[in-house]
Amino acid sequence: MSHDHTEPPADIELRVKALESLLTEKGLIDPAALDELVDTYENRIGPRNGAMVVAKAWSDPDYKARLLTDATAAIAELGFSGVQGEDMVVVENTQDVHNMTVCTLCPCYPWPTLGLPPVWYKSAPYRSRVVIDPRGVLSEFGTSVPDEREVRVWDSSAELRYLVLPERPDGTEGWSEAQLADLVTRDSMIGTGFPKIPADIQ
Amino acid sequence: MNGVHDLGGTHGHGPIAPPAEEPIFAHDWERRMFALFVPAFGGGHFNVDEFRHAIERMDPVHYLHGTYYEHWHHAIETLLIEKGAITREELDAKIRQLKGEQ
């Protein structure tokens, strides 16, 4: 029997509720702690964390050097570490190289710096295609990278997570880290987009 | 495991069509499912590799049709039962009970 559906099974809501209820009765979970967790990842941990890492790297050459050598430690300096961010590698965009990240298998994503991944990142089209046709994927995002620039795609493994360090936009000399962070988009840290430019936010 | 989850390089999945904005959780049950992962994992019932493997062991059609949090639901339910934290009978009874209350 095969059927086409994009909606989950009708009783999924009930089954999740049953699971939660049963686990609570057995003392294996605490619903209040669950609420806290949801709040943390829905409202408090997000791409703003990664944006601050990028802004600091743009402002401070020593920090940038540390970030490129030992990303996990450098990111932890800003207080971002923990679940799904245990092993980080930062890849730098330059005039010669544009980087993109993916996890083709599951997908993995650096939660402490970027929060929870967007639906497209987790889905079959992106996971299947970015490793064989990254420029096609970029054009779906409306992002164009010059032909002469190499596009490198990094596939996360079970433990390793990648973060793209985008190029600093022109016209931002003297900007504070907070101002710079405002330019850094989630997609620029995944590699499907570029940061905003000053004109975008003025 | 060389299952269908190993999507890199495969064809035919259609356009990415990324939306400009979308909520982190599409449904409330997704929120609850996300939250259940941490204590289930933290309680030592399974590790992350077992979690991924439980998803990889899904029926291929179910995997490809299912959404991300459906995968999580499948994995956590499967592992908690396999590890003996809960039984299939208890869970089915709870589902029947909640259904009766609706």
Which fold does the domain A46-201 belong to in CATH? Answer: Nitrile Hydratase; Chain A (3.90.330)
Q: Would you put residue B44 in left (φ > 0), alpha (ψ -120 to 50) or beta?
A: left
Tokens describing residue B41: 């994992």
B17·A129 Cβ contact <8 A: no
Does B73 map to a domain?
A: yes
| pLDDT beneath 50, residues of chain A | 1-5
Task: Please tell me the predicted confidence (pLDDT) of residue A8.
Answer: 65
Name the segment(s) of chain A with CATH classification 3.90.330.10: 46-201
Task: Please tell me the predicted confidence (pLDDT) of residue B42.
Answer: 75
Does B71 map to a domain?
A: yes
- Pick B36's closest partner by Cβ from A9, A14, A29: A29
The answer to whether the CB of A74 falls within 8 A of the CB of A66 is yes
Does B9 map to a domain?
A: no
- Tell me the pLDDT tens digit for each residue of B57-96: 999 999 999 999 999 999 999 999 999 999 999 999 999 9
Identify the sign of the CA torsion A93, A96, A98, A103.
negative
Domain that holds residue B75: 28-101
What mean pLDDT is predicted for residues B17-31?
92
Task: Please tell me the predicted confidence (pLDDT) of residue A108.
Answer: 81
Q: How many CA atoms lie within 13 A of A11 on its CB side?
A: 11
- % of chain B with per-residue pLDDT over 70: 99
CATH of the domain at B82: 1.10.472.20
Task: Please tell me the predicted confidence (pLDDT) of residue A150.
Answer: 98
Residues 6+ apart with CB under 8 A from B94: A18, A21, A22
Does B20 map to a domain?
A: no
What mean pLDDT is predicted for residues B29-58?
89
- % of chain B with per-residue pLDDT over 90: 77
Does B14 map to a domain?
A: no
Instruction: Provide the domain count of chain B.
Output: 1
Higher model confidence: residue B26 or residue B43? B26
Does B3 map to a domain?
A: no
Residues of A in contact with B7 (CB under 8 A): 104-105, 124, 127-128
Does B13 map to a domain?
A: no
Q: Would you put residue B17 in left (φ > 0), alpha (ψ -120 to 50) or beta?
A: left
Does B18 map to a domain?
A: no
Task: Please tell me the predicted confidence (pLDDT) of residue B69.
Answer: 94
What mean pLDDT is predicted for residues B9-29?
93
Which of A 109-138 lie inside 8 A of B, CB atoms?
Answer: 115-116, 118-120, 122-129, 131-132, 137
The pTM assigned to this predicted structure is: 0.91
Task: Please tell me the predicted confidence (pLDDT) of residue B20.
Answer: 86
Interaxial angle between packed helices A61-69 and A47-59, expressed in degrees from 0 to 180 and rounded to the nearest 10: 120
> CA end-to-end span of chain B, whole Å?
41
Strands (E), chain A: 87-92, 97-102, 150-155, 160-165
Burial B6-40 (b: 16+ CB within 10 A, else e): ebbeeeeeeebebeeeeebbebebbbbbbbbbbbb
